[in-house]
Structure 1
Amino acid sequence: MFRLIRTVGVIVGYAALATTKLQHMKKQKEKLPTVHMQDTYISLMAKKWAGRILDSADVTVEVTGHNINDDQPVLFISNHEGNFDIPVLVHAIEKPFGFVSKIEVKEIPFLDEWMMQLNSIYLDRSNRRSSLQMIKDGVASLKEGHNLLIFPEGHRSKGQGLQEFKAGGLKIAKSAGVDIVPIAISGTAAIMEKYNSRRMVPGHVKVQILEPVPAAIFQDHSLDEVGQLIRARIEDALHA
């Protein structure tokens, strides 16, 4: 229980501290010449936040696979095990990126403005119009040069195995004409979800950044076929 309280304190305290620096960072960001440099600068604070959360929870992260660090926008697609997926991925992925996140996150104090600065997009799963707007906003963000990450399972698996992928989010990559980078993450559910989020235990998480899927794949394959291909690659990586 102490570890959980300590980690929550780090999340809230560091978020509050970061928010006080946000206006200064926004001004500094605007002086940078490219979108990639601007996003990288803003993401530095998010990476510090993620690192402190992982340290406070005694979580180590092992990253393997492809190093995606150029300035071409991509859509990351990751499986979704647990609550710790977010700080782990912020820590593990070199490229700055925003999340396609559920609308409920918007209500968390301090977090909304940072989500916006990271070019995240909200989705209200109960509203079909919101899904269409999410795709439109995602395409616009990628075309502007930002990177996005989606969890196509929609919900945390909580360590119960890979769930079915919703292929709709792939419309973002298809319409924007960007590569897709699959990510396999394992070990986060054992930190909290195993105990119904009432406890927190130390853990070791593995993040595998898989070979990018080129944008041209949509010339010969449907959204569902691409979704099944990416899911199979992630599943193979998780069981390797």
Structure 2
Amino acid sequence: MLNSFRTFSFIFGYLPFSAISLRKFMKQKKQLSLEEYDQLIHTEPQKWATGIMKRTKSKVSIQGLEKLPEGPVLFVSNHEGNFDIPTLLSTIPKPFGFISKKEVKKFPIIPMYMEEMNCVFLDRTDRRSALKSITDTVEKLKEGHSILIFPEGTRSKGDGLGEFKAGFLRIAKDANVSILPIAIHGTADIMEKNNNKVMPATVQVQLLDPISSDTIKEMNTKEAIAMIHSRIAETIVTLSMQKYNLD
């Protein structure tokens, strides 16, 4: 219980302080390049996410940072649990937005930051909203921003890798950007597997080799999705074995 209280107190308690920084950052927007502004905006979410993960008392490691490409990229990751976003924000230095359910807009301050981070909001009950989210994501990538997507569409809660929806591939093709697959293992152990109580866990992140826009265009949709799904699935198994050896 103490871990849960400590973590959620920080999640919401930090927001008023981040709002002050956000106002300062937004005043500098006109004087900065797109890359400079994205990096500036990324600093507060990264601090926030790092603070969250620290308070869960989890051990977080990442491999493959040398694989991060220059320019905009579509990050494609499996989705274990609610702590995937804090994990990735705290470990990946490259600024990125992400596709999020529209319910997040009800929270204070967080949506303001997400808009500046170039996040895209999705109403999963509305087909038009789903199509618009694809278009909006393509536009963000074309503008030069990187975006993270969870093609499973929902949390697996650590129960294996779910089926990938095809929308992410259309986004990468239309935006003409590379895909960088990500495998996450262990975030479901923080909360989802503990009856929603926050517990310490060992969390591993592996960035895989980027798949160039040319390669994506050359492959048919089913082949490309199967390849990316397979690479992430195999890496999750490897990370699981590494964790077992560590334990």
Offset of residue 19 of structure 1: 1.0
Offset of residue 185 of structure 1: 0.3
Alignment of 1:63 with 2:62, yes or no, is yes
Segments of 5+ residues of structure 2 without an aligned counterpart are 239-247
Match of 1:210 in 2: 208
Alignment of 1:83 with 2:82, yes or no, is yes
Alignment of 1:127 with 2:126, yes or no, is yes
What's the % identity of the aligned pairs?
46
Q: Which stretch of the first structure deviates more once superposed, 205-214 or 21-30?
A: 21-30
Alignment of 1:50 with 2:70, yes or no, is no
Structure 2 CA distance, aligned partners of 1:7 and 1:182?
28
Contact 1:68–1:94, Cα closer than 8 Å, also in 2: no
Matched residue SS, 2:159:
coil
TM-score by length of 1: 0.96
Contact 2:121–2:133, Cα closer than 8 Å, also in 1: yes
Match of 1:177 in 2: 176
Match of 1:226 in 2: 224
Match of 2:37 in 1: 38
The one-letter amino acid paired with 2:108 is P
Offset of residue 215 of structure 1: 0.6
Structure 2 CA distance, aligned partners of 1:144 and 1:8?
34
The one-letter amino acid paired with 1:23 is R
Structure 1 CA distance, aligned partners of 2:235 and 2:89?
20
Matched residue count = 238
**4+ runs deviating over 4 angstroms:** none
Structure 2 CA distance, aligned partners of 1:122 and 1:35?
21
1:155-194 equivalent positions in 2, closer than 5 A: 155-194=154-193
Structure 2 CA distance, aligned partners of 1:48 and 1:218?
34
Deviations 1:35-93 (A, max 9, x none): 11110111001100011111111012111124245541000000000111010000111
TM-score by length of 2: 0.93
Segments of 5+ residues of structure 1 without an aligned counterpart are none
Offset of residue 15 of structure 1: 1.4
Structure 1 CA distance, aligned partners of 2:40 and 2:75?
20
Q: Indicate the RMSD between aligned Cα atoms, in angstroms.
A: 1.2
